Amino acid sequence: MRAFRGDHVRDVWIDRLIDHPDLAS
């Protein structure tokens, strides 16, 4: 995956980890 809107993708990924803590393990 290319570095496209890195900050936005990172924020979305963090939100996913918060919504689905099981994926963070």
pLDDT tens digits, the chain, 25 residues: what are they?
Answer: 565 667 888 888 888 888 877 765 5
pLDDT of residue 4: 62
pLDDT reported for residue 5 = 67
Residue 2 DSSP label: -
How far apart CA 3 and CA 9 sit, in angstroms, is: 9
Q: Which helix (H) or strand (E) holds 15?
A: helix 6-19
Radius of gyration of the chain (CA): 10
Q: Which residues contact 5 (CB under 8 A, 6 or more apart)?
A: none
**Residue 13 pLDDT:** 86
